[in-house]
Chain A
């Protein structure tokens, strides 16, 4: 599958990645190659195979609905660049 420069820009935007204009041709080539490689899977004969949601053929374990008090708030907030009144501060989201 051949990607267009517009596809690359869209993917970059969705991934919130900044890319340089000059690098776009390289991305087009490399990403297209990756897709081409993965596309081989489309040739696999799967008519009689049931789809799997996960490569491990086991089922999800669950836990009982018991709450445990959170004791890590101080530590995690120490990691944040900025905290005020217990809130993590981030660049303004809306104008």
Chain B
């Protein structure tokens, strides 16, 4: 039988705020245990939640970026369950009237085709603390620093049809929340994590099969692997005449498999009801209009513009817009350097990105400012230095933070464009290599490259390569006979 995969994703986007969603305790990953949980996060008797205004603005931003509707009268609900890292015995979340609903995200599939994935809803909620099942005299350790961290849970319709589509959707959403600057996107630290609802059905069948939910997968690669594993597992069950149990499963990356997390499904009776501690949230048209004004250019639009206005190729535009900060940097360098965009693109994607990767820096930690970098590209553009000398200048710039002009001056790297000087070097090289010269003249054309190399070497890379080519051609093809 031919099976069709049906996937819906629930993504927890951790909102990048200074303080928690319902308390003013700070949020910083990796702080000492329980030093960022105040009495509200600990649910001490008598405390009341007070909503952080910023999370509403951030939810509106996501709504605008995904063409969603905004519920202008949104309410918070209690999701009741007992777990030691949930001090109140309930999580404040949203059930009816989530703040964002009925939107969509256009994703690009591997074959270049676009597919529209509908977003059912996105709701605000607080995160729970962390349980550490280490070695505490047979007990569980609880760190409540994360309790109360604001999350926006984005729920897609079950419209994804393969693990690859799921990853494409996740990457698009990830890029979007990073562009909007509402999430730091750090998957390892759990700032962007995903639960995958997976089911299969015979192709052509309308009704959905029984689904399983694989929890908290924290990398794109693991999402793909977890879904593929789960699909294969479900197919094998059904083809062997067995049933799929609706359950929550956990992906184990070490063994590349998913396993059942809890079997007592009745524990999933959350008994949602409106939280009496919180009043309905009202969002005005003015507030939405104000946020609309602050919206940055979105990645898809920017990619389009970099191609149409700056003439970048589809590939280059994709690489450069992968992060908003990289795209900002690129555009600033283009503006300041007046060099061809292709030259700037090649440098930004090449040596510049390589240097960042090597140091494991993100772009905000980059020691070469857009101004410095533009200065270097200006000198390549106006032929003061060649591209390969540019690499030398760039690495000096990375170390010393000096301007390109200073480095060129100090190290005497200025390109030699004086024909007489280059000719002199060529003559010396030809004289020093009589054997190769004879071979060349006997028809071994390949040796042309050998001479170019020698001349460039003798000039310490400073000779203009185009000029060396031309002059060498003149010498070798016209002088000889």
Chain B residue nearest to A84 (CB atoms) is: B136
Minimum distance in angstroms from A82 CB to a CB of chain B: 7
A62 cross-chain contacts in B, Cβ below 8 A: 50-53, 56, 281
Contact of B282 among A59, A70, A72, A91 (CB under 8 A): A59
CA–CA, A60 and B133, complex, Å: 38
Contact of B266 among A10, A59, A77, A90 (CB under 8 A): A10
Minimum distance in angstroms from B349 CB to a CB of chain A: 36
* A residues neighboring B (CB under 8 Å): 10, 13-14, 16, 53-54, 56, 58-70, 72-73, 76-77, 82, 84-94
B36 cross-chain contacts in A, Cβ below 8 A: 70
Minimum distance in angstroms from A86 CB to a CB of chain B: 4
B281 cross-chain contacts in A, Cβ below 8 A: 59-60, 62
If A65-B18, A68-B24, A93-B133 touch, does A60 touch B279 (CB 8 Å cutoff)? yes
If A14-B269, A53-B75 touch, does A66 touch B18 (CB 8 Å cutoff)? yes
B34 cross-chain contacts in A, Cβ below 8 A: 73, 76-77, 86-88
B271 within 8 A of A: yes
Asked whether, in the complex, the Cβ of B139 is within 8 Å of the Cβ of A91, the reply is yes
B82 cross-chain contacts in A, Cβ below 8 A: 16
B257 within 8 A of A: no
If A54-B280, A68-B19 touch, does A90 touch B26 (CB 8 Å cutoff)? no
Question: Which residues of chain B from 118 to 172 have a CB within 8 Å of any chain A CB?
Answer: 131-133, 136-144
CA–CA, A53 and B141, complex, Å: 37
A65 cross-chain contacts in B, Cβ below 8 A: 17-19, 52-54
Asked whether, in the complex, the Cβ of B133 is within 8 Å of the Cβ of A92, the reply is yes
Which of the candidate stretches B37-45, B289-297, B362-370, B434-442 sits at the interface with the other chain? B37-45
Question: Which residues of chain B from 11 to 35 have a CB within 8 Å of any chain A CB?
Answer: 17-19, 24-27, 32-35
A82 cross-chain contacts in B, Cβ below 8 A: 139
DSSP majority for the B interface?
Answer: loop
B278 within 8 A of A: yes
0/1 interface trace, chain B 49-88, chain A, CB 8 Å (1 if under):
0111110100000000000000001010000101110000
A14 cross-chain contacts in B, Cβ below 8 A: 80, 266-267, 269, 271
A61 cross-chain contacts in B, Cβ below 8 A: 50-51, 279
Minimum distance in angstroms from B298 CB to a CB of chain A: 23
B209 within 8 A of A: no
Chain B residue nearest to A83 (CB atoms) is: B34
B341 within 8 A of A: no
Asked whether, in the complex, the Cβ of A66 is within 8 Å of the Cβ of B141, the reply is no
B467 within 8 A of A: no
Contact of A93 among B52, B131, B266, B279 (CB under 8 A): B131
CA–CA, A60 and B284, complex, Å: 13
